[in-house]
Amino acid sequence: MNRLLVVFLVIMTMSSCTSKFQKILKNKDTDYKVKMAEKFYKEKKYSDAQQLFESTIQFVKGTPRYEEIYLMYANAYYYDKDYENAENLFKTFIEYFPNSTRVEEVEFNRANTYYLRSPKAELDQTTTNRAIQLMQSFIDAHPTSIKVKDATEVIDACRAKLELKDYKTATLYFDLALYRAAAISYGLLSDGYPDSKSADKYKLLTLKSYYLFAENSFLEKQKERFEKVTEEYNDFVDRYSDSPLLEEAKKIKKQTDNFLNIKK
């Protein structure tokens, strides 16, 4: 078949479908439009379902099916990956139907919209933090829910992303030779994520950063700053005496001792 003919037929088919949908959308029969919205929803044609639900939702308010239709309306956005609009509708659903048997499901999905919008670690993590807050609230409100495991996994994934962001920030300071800022940032990482598998690594980098900060300081400041290195080394040993990184920490301590002995 001629390529241009194929393109023409596709355009005509799309135009016909659009025309049929517009007729449905303009129909004055609310029951019919709701029925078609549900049909499109079941067929996973979520964009069409959204428009029909939106045009009818005000007319079904107060009817026995209002809750059910409102939830489909919200879910149409959720399944269409329009998470911002879905979150707003889920929030409103909880306000409108606080005693609904579907509240547990909706609260989880609302929290999940923030997780699904969470950006790369380098970017602003407001949505990631919000996902943690809402998932924790979900766990507190529904401790026996089968979704608690999923909620916990989301929280862990979000915390891992926040940890990675903080690590990248600290490493950027280190690479720019801003060793004091790097030391503080790595220290906050070590303290903020004590259960991380990299906690000892963060502490070693704190130690290393303070050492380089001292080494590159003015002579009159070096003794005080190398003493800070010793303090950090002792803290490393107290926390991670069985760490495979202990030998590297000892090398930094030895270099620090050599300097302090010279200064005596």
Pick the range with the lowest mean pLDDT from 6-15, 70-79, 180-189. 6-15
- Helix, strand, or coil (residue 92): helix
Per residue in 49-58, pLDDT (tens digit) is: 999 999 999 9
* pLDDT of amino acid 261: 82
Phi/psi for 205 (5° steps) reads -65, -35
CA distance 41 to 26: 18
Residue 235, pLDDT > 70, answer yes
Domain extent listing, the chain: 177-264
Using only C-alpha atoms, the chain has a radius of gyration, in whole angstroms, of 29
